Amino acid sequence: MKFENESGIEIKSVYTPEDVTATGGDDGIGRPGQFPFTRGIHEQMYRKRPWTMRQYAGFGTPEETNERFHYLIDNGQTGLNVAFDLPTQMGLSSDDPMAEGEVGRVGMAVDTLEDFEIAFAGIDLDEITVSLTINGAAVTLIAMYFAMAEKRGYDLSKLRGTAQNDILKEFVGRGTWVFPVEPSIKLVGDTIIYCAENVPKYSPVSVCGYHIRESGASPAQEMAYAFLIAKAYIDHVLARGMSVDDFASRLSFNFDIYGNLFEQVAKFRAGRRLWAKIINDDYHAENPRSAWMRMIAGGGGGGLTIEQPENNIVRGAYYALISALSGTQTMALCSYDEAYTIPSEKAARVSLRTMQILIEEMGLCDTVDPLGGSYYVESLTNQMEEKIRAVMKDVDRGGGIVKSISEGYIQAAVSRQAYENVRKIERGEIRKVGVNCFQVEEETPDVEFHPFRDEDRDKQVRRLERVRSERDGTRAERALGKLLDTAKAGDNVMPAVIEAVKSYATVGEITSCLVEVYGRYKEPIRF
């Protein structure tokens, strides 16, 4: 029988020092906290501070979301990862006809600055860092976060946090785009430059291989496409006159975990090493932190199953183990009921307790990179680095990542692979417990479904109408006019968006101004 992992690497029955030598040697292993950071970006890693635990949360109204935030914090969560509903992600106000049936359904509804003020009430933004999972409308939501923090008295020069804000992966993996590719990259650049100059501890982009992997990419493709996307953002910002050391240290990554344990660990060790080489060799960074691959890595929803959902608790524990063994900085786990619904409080608590058990009981914080030195892991790490490089070279030969995404080639490649993976599961070539092996007669799942409530939508729309009627209309109109002029001039729109947000302009109004200048994206379809 031939053993091969998903990235196409053949697995031997036993590994020896000769295998490490044959795959590239051990010169790239190094020490934790030292280039090329294969073993971790910090010398002491979790002995000094465990990973941040940041469960993805947000639904319905800002009031409901605030309640869930406090529940998670009270149960020991150390960071927040905010889910937004689809209208917010698409830059629509809650009363837009296109938002019908989606307000608050898969995340928190946000229309104006007041919604952020409610959602984060009572949360210490110095103690609890916040990640905003938003892309197409990222400039507006980042601006809201800054305006809310400033209004509450926080010093923006010290404010920490993260925004996903990776629009190129949206064209590949999720589809919550608004603007065409080139102006979308320009908006990402606006946030990077603004943060470098004004909010230097904030991470304005979390490059997200996660959703590319969830869409069907192999582990090697996940890393390769993420690195190419990150390079596209870096190249754009460098072309606008910044130095790589002005901003590269604040770039971060969001990666997926499901599948073979050792392949996942190796992809992160290889990725960390390769990214350090890219930053040093291609961009000649002088600050060692510029070469850090800082990441959030947790359970992948693509690994969860509708069948026998309790098995997902076990899967989540293994995903958390992989994440810790891989040297992540932040961990977030999908909850066992997430294949069905927004996680219940119970399911979210189980995921949180899973991470806490690893810290408190399993010894994952005792030593750095405990799998380092394994003949198998080091050989696989070397091979994964070569696989990632090969995918990157292939894209570059095809004209680069921006061209390939703009013309739909990356989307087509990922879709083809997703189709093949489904066929392999159907044929039993990929074993999935409860799906194509060890099946049981279907039972009613013990899952608490999250309801969609029309009253949540009505409440959100009433608040929106009230804010519109009570705000200084002249100030809002003037701020939106300035934003339109700024976009037309090709200048950085972040200062103008912040002023519009402070005037309580809506997400929809701000998006409409930018659409007037940039237009809307139309997806190319390839077969």
User: Which two tokens mark 222?
Assistant: 């996940």
How high is the pLDDT of residue 107? Answer: 95
How high is the pLDDT of residue 439? Answer: 93
How high is the pLDDT of residue 341? Answer: 87
Is the distance from CB of 77 to CB of 355 less than 8 angstroms?
A: no
| Residue 447 to residue 470: CA distance in whole angstroms | 42
- Domain annotation covers residue 245: yes
Q: ω before 36 within 30° of 0 (cis)?
A: yes
How high is the pLDDT of residue 300? Answer: 82
Percentages of the chain per state (helix, strand, coil), in multiples of 5 = 55, 10, 40
Tally of CA atoms within 13 A in the half-sphere of 426 that contains its CB: 6
- Domain annotation covers residue 364: yes
- Domain annotation covers residue 105: yes
Note the pLDDT tens digit of each residue in 35-60: 999 999 999 999 999 999 998 899 99
How high is the pLDDT of residue 401? Answer: 97
- Domain annotation covers residue 438: no
| Residue 294 to residue 299: CA distance in whole angstroms | 17
Note the pLDDT tens digit of each residue in 347-371: 999 999 999 999 999 999 999 999 9
How high is the pLDDT of residue 446? Answer: 77
How high is the pLDDT of residue 132? Answer: 97
Identify the CA nearest to 173 among candidates 396, 418, 338: 418
- Domain annotation covers residue 111: yes
Does residue 460 surpass a pLDDT of 90? yes
Q: Taking residues 281-307, what's their average pLDDT?
A: 94
Q: Assign 4 to helix, strand or coil.
A: strand
Note the pLDDT tens digit of each residue in 241-288: 999 999 999 999 999 999 999 999 999 999 999 999 999 999 999 999
How high is the pLDDT of residue 474? Answer: 98
- Domain annotation covers residue 442: no
pLDDT band for position 526 (50/70/90)?
Answer: low
Q: What is the CATH number of the domain that holds 303?
A: 3.20.20.240
Is the distance from CB of 322 to CB of 346 less than 8 angstroms?
A: no
What share of the chain has pLDDT > 70, as a percent?
99
Identify the CA nearest to 178 among candidates 517, 516, 515: 515
Note the pLDDT tens digit of each residue in 72-130: 999 999 999 999 999 999 999 999 999 999 999 999 999 999 999 999 999 999 999 99
Does residue 383 surpass a pLDDT of 70? yes
| Residue 66 to residue 460: CA distance in whole angstroms | 14
- Domain annotation covers residue 191: yes
Q: Taking residues 399-422, what's their average pLDDT?
A: 94
Does residue 527 surpass a pLDDT of 70? no
- Domain annotation covers residue 72: yes
Q: Based on the structure, what is the number of domains in the chain?
A: 1
User: What are the residues whose beta carbons fall under 8 Å from the beta carbon of 256, sequence distance 6 or more?
Assistant: 209, 210, 211, 213, 214, 222, 297, 300, 302
What share of the chain has pLDDT > 90, as a percent?
93
Q: What is the residue type of 515?
A: V
How high is the pLDDT of residue 473? Answer: 97
| Residue 197 to residue 36: CA distance in whole angstroms | 28
Alpha helices in 29-137 (DSSP H): 62-74, 86-89, 113-119
How high is the pLDDT of residue 441? Answer: 85
pLDDT band for position 427 (50/70/90)?
Answer: very high
How high is the pLDDT of residue 1? Answer: 66
Task: Give the range of the structural domain holding residue 51, as residue numbers without chain letter.
Answer: 17-427
Q: What is the mean pLDDT of the chain?
A: 95
Does residue 183 surpass a pLDDT of 70? yes
How high is the pLDDT of residue 19? Answer: 98
CA distances from 193 to 197, 241, 486 (A): 6, 10, 16
| Residue 497 to residue 484: CA distance in whole angstroms | 10
User: What are the residues whose beta carbons fall under 8 Å from the beta carbon of 347, sequence distance 6 or more?
Assistant: 335, 336, 337, 338, 448
